[in-house]
Structure 1
């Protein structure tokens, strides 16, 4: 999902973002936190499934602006940057989540 457009929050859960992938499919993600690293904002999400209780992966997106100055998200693929963002997320949320 290299480039995503934000479709907005769902009515049932305001923490769920509906993102539009490169194929035009709507993919729900639950927003966990927003972290600022080196002046850029990164959104930490998990794939949203209201029936799944175990989280197996997270997704990290950089908050950008598209050509029309609309908010859009791009997935962070740089392993070093992902590690820095994840470590900051863990520090900020040590009491909220079980990090194993």
Structure 2
């Protein structure tokens, strides 16, 4: 098994979740054509994993980004809306 790294960053009113591995990376067709349901280069793959993640993320008003790492590996970034809870608390306290 290879290594998997997960990072989470708060950026303004967005949350960025980054998952990276040290595997062979994404196939070029996936990076060029985008995520398509039922498209997989894995023998036992259904092609639904990333398609389901993309749908979930878009339903939340976010976006998904795929890229290959150098010299090898893949990275998935999820950018999700995440209002600043401190700002919301301040608005509520001031009647906003």
TM-score category of the 2 structures, normalised to the smaller one? under 0.3
| Larger relative contact order (Cα-Cα within 8 Å, sequence gap ≥ 6) | 2
More strand by share: 1
TM-score after normalising by structure 2: 0.25
TM-score after normalising by structure 1: 0.24
